[in-house]
Amino acid sequence: MTRDRILGLGLIVLGGIGVALSLGIHAMTFNNDPGPQLFPIFACTILGFCGLMMLLTGKSTPNTGPAFTAETARAGIMAALMVAYGVGLWLLGFAPATALMAFAVYWVIAGPKRHEAWIGALYALLVTGAIWLLFAKLLNAFLPQGILF
């Protein structure tokens, strides 16, 4: 079994555990509010789906070993951005933190030769607006309010 398939299997298991733990969250909610279970269930389902795709489409030849590449550095930056996003939600609230995160993710994914500031700003605006519409309007969920704003 290759490293991709092992990772895929691990992601499926981790996603399943996350969904099971999320179903155990109980909190009093307001009318039509899906509560704190919704986001973890969505995230863990997506994680399990990504693991399934890795399991099904993993490379057939084993990798020789870990190598530090530009992709590895980019993955580390993306992980740091997720931590920064959590801190940003706590400090700034949903709209500023999500807009900054979407811009930063675009900047990292596009790479140094292809990123444009105006495209990143447009992407950040569209992503923030779409998420706000989905959660605040369609699902009637409360979005995080920052302690600074």
> pLDDT tens digits, residue range 130-139?
999 998 888 8
Q: What percent of the chain has pLDDT over 70?
A: 85
Residues 89, 86: Cα–Cα separation, whole Å: 5
- Whether 123 and 114 have beta carbons less than 8 Å apart is answered as no
124's enclosing H/E stretch is helix 117-132
In this prediction, residue 37 carries a pLDDT of: 78
Helices 94-110 and 117-132, interaxial angle, to 10°? 140
**Looking at the predicted structure, is the pLDDT value of residue 29 above 70?**
no
53-62 in b/e burial notation, b at 16+ Cβ within 10 A?
Answer: ebbeebeeee
**Rounded distance between C-alpha atoms, residue 140 and residue 26, angstroms:** 18
CA pair distance 22, 40, nearest whole angstrom:
6
Range 77-106 average pLDDT? 93
Using alpha carbons only, what angle is made at residue 21 by residues 19 and 22, rounded to the nearest 5 degrees? 60
66 CB-contact burial (10 Å; exposed 0-12 / middle 13-18 / buried 19+) = exposed
**pTM for the full predicted model:** 0.61
Taking residues 59-88, what's their average pLDDT? 78
Residue 61 has pLDDT above 80, yes or no: no
**Tokens matching residue 74:** 């980019």
CA distances, 145 to each of 87, 91, 99 (Å): 12, 8, 14
